[in-house]
């Protein structure tokens, strides 16, 4: 890990949602940088398997707790230099199955995580999402765009929980001078995603490996900007190490359609699967690509893993785990 991805005075970090897909990669990277890491997760959607290889490493501790509960602050003794708040169901399957828990962790969970950071004088970083832009009317989406979100639609429990969390972080920074920032993550994918995650890449990869039909929503023309998990982790930690208070987009630079993703996965796996078109979910975004000008100019960050190479690595992971 490059020294530019951490502050010299960081000694101990807590990653909420640390047993999840992205959280587990963050735990791993911070340990490699020499930090002590507390991984906090209630295992609603996280998985101990994601951190099994870390459990015996010096400096790593798993704390099973619910960040939405007031006692979570006491369970996480600290003191911490860095609080990465990544606890939240992130896939449509998960947040539609757990709508109230999603809203709770975005509100009470974020408040409790902020209290941890304020208590210890730590740097705080909220994992927000491209979903705050909803089905955008501006393309690509820059941090100054306010979004086009349906506040009562089926995706609203996730979209609005993140928008509220951003407001909480902003208020905390302004009122209590908490050293707090926001990173808006776009379409991260890679190893450790769950097979039943419901998002495009793991769904298509697992269907292709099993020679099952790839279920493309609508006509597949809707676009995404995929970002491989290693690049996302780099971006997240650079935002954390900066003094940035305003939100920063971290996402892929290549905009591809869902149909293109399906076709590329078929090509890379050599699968005999066909594409099956299914109904498109309500409020599914038509076009999505991060404007990462701020990340490039402020942090000198840009993704280094192309979407085809990232898919190859992800396919290798799912093929290996069976």
Catalytic residue among 133, 158, 189, 277: 158
Of 185, 179, 177, 321, the residue nearest 251 (C-alpha): 185
Please list, in sequence order, all residues whose beta carbon lies within 8 angstroms of the beta carbon of residue 245, skipping any fewer than 6 positions away: 170, 173, 180, 181, 182
For the beta carbon of residue 207, count every other beta carbon within 10 angstroms: 22
Dihedral in degrees, nearest 10, Cα atoms 165, 302, 94, 211: 170
Cα–Cα distance, 239 to 200 (Å, whole number): 26
Whether 277 is a known active-site residue: answer no
Tell me which residues are annotated as active site: 158
């Amino acid at each position: 890990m490059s020294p530019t991805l951490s502050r010299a005075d960081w000694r101990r970090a807590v990653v909420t949602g640390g047993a999840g897909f992205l959280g587990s990669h963050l735990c791993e990277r911070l340990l490699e940088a020499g930090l002590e890491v507390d991984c906090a997760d209630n295992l609603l959607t996280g998985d101990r398997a994601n951190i099994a290889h870390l459990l015996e490493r010096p400096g790593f501790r798993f704390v099973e707790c619910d960040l939405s509960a007031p006692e979570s602050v006491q369970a996480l003794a600290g003191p911490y230099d860095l609080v990465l708040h990544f606890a939240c169901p992130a896939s449509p399957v998960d947040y539609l199955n757990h709508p109230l828990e999603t809203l709770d962790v975005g509100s009470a969970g974020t408040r409790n995580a902020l209290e941890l950071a304020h208590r210890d004088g730590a740097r705080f970083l909220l994992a927000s999402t491209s979903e705050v832009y909803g089905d955008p009317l501006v393309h690509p989406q820059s941090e100054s765009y306010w979004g086009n979100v349906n506040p009562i639609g089926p995706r609203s429990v996730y979209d609005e929980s993140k928008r509220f969390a951003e407001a909480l972080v902003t208020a905390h920074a302004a009122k209590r001078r908490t050293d707090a920032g926001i990173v808006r993550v776009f379409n991260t994918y890679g190893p450790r995603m769950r097979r039943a995650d419901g998002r495009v890449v793991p769904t298509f990869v697992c269907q292709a490996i099993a020679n099952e039909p790839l279920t493309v929503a609508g006509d597949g023309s809707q676009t995404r900007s995929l970002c491989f998990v290693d690049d996302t982790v780099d971006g997240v930690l650079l935002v954390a190490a900066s003094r940035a208070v305003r939100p920063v987009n971290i996402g892929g630079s290549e905009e591809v359609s869902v149909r293109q993703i399906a076709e590329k996965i078929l090509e890379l796996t050599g699968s005999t699967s066909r594409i099956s078109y299914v109904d498109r979910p309500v409020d599914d975004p038509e076009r999505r690509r991060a404007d990462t000008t701020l990340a490039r100019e402020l942090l000198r960050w840009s993704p280094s893993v192309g979407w085809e190479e990232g898919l190859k690595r992800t396919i290798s992971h799912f093929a290996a785990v069976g």
